Amino acid sequence: MPLIKLNKIGKKAYWCLWEITETEDAIRNKVYLSAEGKSELERVGHLTKRKERLASRACIQALAEAMNIPYNGIYKDEHSKPHLIGHNHQISISHSYPFAVGIIHRQLPVGIDIEKPTDKLIRLAYRFLNKEELQNAGANSKKLCVYWTGKEAIYKLNGKKGLIFKQDIRIYPFQLSKRDTIRCEFLINDNSVRLSLEYRELKNHIISYCF
């Protein structure tokens, strides 16, 4: 079954993982698309990218069903942040073929990201990590992937363009494990916002989320 994991987080949130094994038509038949969603999909020329976007919406649809919320589709605001049509619940989506993830919270802004550790992160680490983070991560691609997905999740939680990964988002040093919760913060309007970030390794990918 494509939906391979759906977990409750506390009393007000759920997240899920979808494995893309279906054809594009098969996913389309499972997912409700609003007019805006259909229009967005028509602008995506690459088959894999279309399947990723469909699967990420399938995640949110499954999460809405788990929370007994009528699903009317997704729209994106001027910052490309996704929102549920007709509801105030907060959502976030991500994809890294062949997987897609989604998260939903009844009240709080959320962010989620998924990525597969690769040596490319070692080459690019200096672009998104500060000196302390670089020293802590070293050349460990999995640890670098936690930093990358963590900062992506925080960026999505903030929901507005402008945050600079290297200087505005900080993840405190941590010991790598299969699953953990770590401290982090980001700067907005000269104020520091502190929060916890949860990450886990699944299917050779790193998934990070926060709210």
DSSP code per residue over 91-123: EEEEEETTEEEEEEESSS--EEEEE---THHHH
Q: Domains of the chain: which residue ranges?
A: 3-107, 114-210
Q: Which residue has the tokens 């992160």?
A: 121
- Phi then psi for residue 80, to 5 deg, are 70, 20
Cα angle at 96 between 147 and 109, to 5 degrees? 60
Please tell me the pTM assigned to this model: 0.96
Tell me the pLDDT of the chain (211 aa) as tens digits. 589 999 999 999 999 999 999 999 999 999 999 998 899 999 999 999 999 999 999 999 999 999 999 999 999 999 999 999 999 999 999 999 999 999 999 999 999 999 999 999 999 999 999 999 999 999 999 999 999 999 999 999 999 988 999 999 999 999 999 999 999 999 988 899 999 999 999 999 999 999 9
Q: Which option is the CATH number for 3-107: 3.10.350.10, 1.10.287.130, 3.40.50.1100, 3.90.470.20? A: 3.90.470.20
Q: CB neighbours of 41 closer than 8 A, spacing ≥ 6?
A: 33, 50, 53, 54
Q: Which residue has the tokens 């910052």?
A: 79
